[in-house]
Amino acid sequence: MKRLISLFMIVAMLAIFVPTTFAAPPAQEGQDYIVLAGDWLSKIADKYLGNPYSWPAIMALTNQKHLTDSTYAKIINADLIYPGWKLYVPSQEEAEAFLATYDKNKPELLYATGAKGQLVVGSWWTAGGEAEGLNEMFKIYSQKYPDVEIVNATVAGGAGTNFKAVLKTRLIGGDPPDTFQLHAGLEVETYSPEQYLEPVDDIYASEGLEAVFPADLLTLLKYNGHYWGVPVNIHRSNVLWYNKAVFEANNLTPPTTFEEFQAVAEALKAAGIQPFVLGTKDGWEAGHIFEDVLAGTLGAEKYKGLWTGETPWTDPGVTQALENFKMMLSYANPDHSAHTWDSAGEFLIAGTGGMMIMGDWTDGWFTSKGFTGYGWAPPPGTDGIFVALSDSFALPKNAPNAENARNWLKVCGSLEGQEAFNPKKGSICARTDCDPALFNEYLQSAMVDWSQDAIVPSVIHGAAAKESWVTDYKDVITLFVASGDVAAAQAGLQQACVDAGVCQ
Ligand code: GAL
């Protein structure tokens, strides 16, 4: 009888201590796991990774997650895990990668090490609003990775006028920053992504980003089958800003057509106010306004067709758009070549200027200046059209601190990052799950428009065309601002399309 009992006990003990199966379960994705009563690490490893001896991977990767997200448990003793704790059970691939480097004589490998070194972030966000938005994301990053030194490597010049050339030299010279600002869309082509950039598809997968960005944005972000940047926002190019007090004092409402624009401009002029203010100092601002004039003259579909070859640049609509723009320029401040987009905005704040067309980073800028007396409307002809662009951050090949950069991209894509960044930046989230209550009235209106308007791509801000075409387009418009020669400008725009290989 005694023998029988001890045999029974041996069998029972075997049942407890020897894993029931070593057969690998089907490959699985990394997942969160809440500890249940009666769980222990090797049992979980056996169930999810097909091997009880893979438990160190669960412990190490859970501890790594805990560093940046305290909802994950910190496992100090492998034998002590408690019901309700959140663990991270890695994918087979992640577990194998860890175990290949794990040495059981070095228990320190089971505990996480925080990120160190630098994070060099390249962008052109130096103006009020945009600089503050960036700083909000830096704060979040620093909370998560307190030992990483952030280097804010900005090069001033709106729309990346100066930044892009500096970046290109650094990429080609094998001396890149760790991450840099990149517009979603064809701009990526400028940087020969296959040669100089790392695809970031794995970050989309690990952060679940495909589920939180709109489908159209994902399409814009994918180039040659890969994602090359993580978007932080959606900006609107076509906004007409006006000084509310000036408009009220003169009984004016924002113009919805080009004829109305002229009438409003005449009234402002008669009141001694500069009707239309702009800066052309950085060479892109006039091209920016003209893209909105093109959309407002041609309509959404024909505007889009300009960048795909479906609408010829010889179209009479383009002639009309140039005429419309010429009319608008006749009301502009004569010293525009001395101004940038933001210094031109000072006229509006001072009430010496009436209207201005610029992207909605202007909302962030006004807010940073404490100016609340601004109104907004779609520029003439663009009611129901949203000329869109998006800023993302990319990962160069051979980034000196690639791991830090990857963590930065995760912050960029996160809800926390986007909710902190965008209200200051004057943009709306690229994510669809941000809380509208965090945004001001203008941005809330932009969210509504984004959800219902016809979305067309901005050319000046990298979405619609490759960089060489953007440059040619910009140059033609710069010449036009000086000459007012409609026929020459139209021929130049047509030639730019031919040179881009899109028109015949
Ligand atoms: C755009 C960029 C915006 C804003 C603007 C002015 O190209 O997408 O985020 O910074 O330039 O510099």
The string of DSSP letters for 407-472 reads: HHHHHHHSHHHHHHHHHHHT-EESSS---GGGS-HHHHHHHHHHHHSEEEE-TTTTSSS-HHHHHH
| Average pLDDT along the chain | 94
Rounded to whole angstroms, the Cα distance separating 278 from 23 reads 69
Tell me the helix, strand and coil percentages in the chain, rounded to 5.
50, 15, 35
- Burial of residue 202 (CB within 10 Å: 0-12, 13-18, 19+) is exposed
Please check the confidence at residue 5 and state whether its pLDDT lies above 70: no
pLDDT given at position 16: 46
Distance 160 CA to ligand 1 centre (A): 7
pLDDT given at position 68: 81
In degrees to the nearest 10, what's the CA dihedral of 343, 346, 352, 354?
90
349 and 479 share a domain? yes
Please check the confidence at residue 17 and state whether its pLDDT lies above 70: no
Nearest residue to 363 (alpha-carbon basis) of 63, 49, 102, 128: 128
Please check the confidence at residue 169 and state whether its pLDDT lies above 90: yes
Rounded to whole angstroms, the Cα distance separating 76 from 284 reads 56
155 and 294 share a domain? no
193 and 260 share a domain? no
First to last CA, the chain: 97
Nearest residue to 148 (alpha-carbon basis) of 126, 125, 121, 168: 121
Q: What is the pTM of this model?
A: 0.86
More confident residue, 109 or 323: 323
Reported as type and span, the H/E element at residue 233 is: strand 233-236
Report the nearest-CA residue for atom 1 of ligand 1: 159
What's the domain range around 368?
240-381+466-499
pLDDT given at position 289: 99
Q: Where are the beta strands (DSSP E) in 35-116?
A: 86-89
User: Which of 102, 136, 158 is a domain's end point?
Assistant: 102
Residue of 236, 427, 458, 461 with the most ligand 1 atoms within 8 Å of its CB, for mutation: 461
Rounded to whole angstroms, the Cα distance separating 90 from 93 reads 8
Number of structural domains in the chain: 3
Residues with CB under 6 A from ligand 1: 124-125, 130, 158-160, 183, 235, 359, 361, 389, 391, 461
Backbone angles phi, psi at 190, to 5 degrees: -55, -30
416 and 300 share a domain? no
CATH of the domain at 352: 3.40.190.10
Question: Please, which residues bridge with residue 119 across strands?
Answer: 150
The SS3 assignment for 74 reads coil
Nearest residue to 383 (alpha-carbon basis) of 325, 459, 454, 447: 454
User: Which of 102, 126, 145 is a domain's end point?
Assistant: 102
pLDDT given at position 9: 52
Please check the confidence at residue 462 and state whether its pLDDT lies above 60: yes
Residue of 124, 220, 239, 241 with the most ligand 1 atoms within 8 Å of its CB, for mutation: 124
Per residue in 414-437, is it b (16+ CB within 10 Å) or e — as a string? beebbbbbbbbbbbbbbbeebeee
375 and 413 share a domain? no
Give me the residue label for tokens 């009301």.
331
Section 76-86 average pLDDT: 94
